[in-house]
Amino acid sequence: METTLQGVGVSHGVAIGEVRHMGTAVLEPPAKQIASGDTAREQGRARQAVEAVAADLKARGNLAGGEAQAVLEAQALMALDPELIADVDRRIAVGSTAERAVYDAFASYRALLASAGEYLAGRVADLDDVRNRIVARLLGVPMPGVPDSDEPYVLIARDLAPADTALLDPALVLGFVTEEGGPTSHSAILARALGVPAVVALPGACELAEGTVIAVDGSTGEVFVEPGEEKVASLTAAAEERKAALAAASGPGATSDGHKVPLLANVGGPADVPAAVAAGAEGVGLFRTEFLFLDDSAQAPSEEKQVEAYRQVLEAFPGGRVVVRVLDAGADKPLDFLTPADEPNPALGVRGLRALLDHPEVLRGQLRALAAAAAGLPVYLEVMAPMVADRQDARAFADACREAGLTAKFGAMVEIPSAALRARSVLQEVEFLSLGTNDLAQYTFAADRQVGAVARLQDPWQPALLDLVALAADAAKAEGKSCGVCGEAAADPLLACVLTGLGVTSLSMGAASIPYVRATLAKYTLAQCERAAAAARATDSADEARRAVQAVLSGE
């Protein structure tokens, strides 16, 4: 009998197939005692396993590139954490086996993360994955992960570790559904990058029986269990209609009456550039530079290495706009040489621009490298600072850009509500704004983007979030400056219309979403987008906002 389940759609498309469940987690190793003479051997085994898992995570990241590379390199650093390794050695020294010592050390660290505030608690899934991989290697059992299947399937998991999501084969994994996670979780971001239909935060997902046929609508978040022929036919027809619309839409982003809305790509490094170019991106709206710095958490990369990487991206968009975000370290991306190790809540501490202003030599080096990389190229380089809170922050960044001899435009990311509320003040110091809706939602609603239980508050359709977007866009218009969106909100085609109606001047997203957004924008006039935006802001919930916009744009 057909039933419908509702989760959060995070990656467009429809997938219909049989359920396959993620491999089970590693079992808890037995609490055996070793002889005192075996201590050195067991410590050696533990270190070898840790180093092998870290190397494997880095290798997976290199293969995947872009977003996935930054996430997986962060996991590799987690595996190599000196305090964790020292704890493992201590436990072996008092008689634990290597696998038991790893299990217990990670359990202790896990408890610290879980109690350190919601932001860090959201990293527990990544930590568990690292632990499981190390223990599996020590026990000589298969790694937990994607099931082995010769036939295409829909993957079901409590949550997907980045190491698994990054290397999913779209030819076999038709789509995936998770019980945990949210619209801006690592799994969701990587799913969009892969172009795999996905639904997250679906209650009871793991209770679906192996082999059950389901249909996943990554746009609406609906999952149909044992769908009938009529439902399969309607979903298939809708999917074909979307494909036809995508094929018909081309060229620069614009509404049907010619209002231009540049569609830019979010990239994590040179590996993401080919997909962005293929999707017709008009430039880069968010170039995340963390991938360079995560290679070695002990020191910043040389300016020469930075110049080489930046230039590869800049060269791909002659005549286009490339917006680079300077290093955004801290919180879930700690760096030994830059961020404090003992903050009670790193998400609210010294991260982003705050960390760079505490280490001006790192900021100066990056700005000099960007200036050198852009020299002689026909590209419009723009540089922005993450986590700007007020005019004082904006002024400090602008001063640093000028002191480094940067001739590019410099701007501020709006990720903290105070920056949206006082956007006009911030714009006295910088030349543009870019809204990072992922963090802006997190700080507006006190809702960790990695925690499925608060996913509704991470929904970019929340009217309060749209109010903040409108404030920033209005301020930019009043100052004659631009205000783009580079958060995952821009990847939602219908929401892209709302953002356009709010006055946002450009939209940046994962490359896979660009064709969907281009095709949808081309169906509506600017006036329709403005009416849709007003209707969304007049509601009191994300669901109401969606329904109101659908009604406006369908002419109801």
Residues noted as catalytic: 186, 486
φ/ψ region of 330 (left if φ > 0, alpha if ψ in -120 to 50, else beta) reads left
In whole angstroms, give the CA distance from residue 216 to residue 202.
11
The pair of structure tokens assigned to 420 is 């949206």
Rg (CA), the chain: 24
CB atoms within 10 A of CB 32: 10
CB 400 within 8 A of CB 363: yes
Residues in a beta bridge with 321: 283, 380
CB 168 within 8 A of CB 46: no
Q: Taking the CA of residue 124 as centre, how many other CA atoms within 13 Å lie in the half-sphere pointing to its CB? A: 21
**Sign of torsion over alpha carbons 100, 452, 169, 437:** negative
CB 386 within 8 A of CB 366: no
Is 507 in a helix, a strand, or coil?
strand
In whole angstroms, give the CA distance from residue 458 to residue 452.
9
CB atoms within 10 A of CB 361: 9
* 408: phi then psi, degrees, rounded to nearest 5: -70, 160
- In angstroms, how far is the first alpha carbon of the chain from the final one? 33
Residue 24, C-beta contacts closer than 8 angstroms, at least 6 positions apart: 144
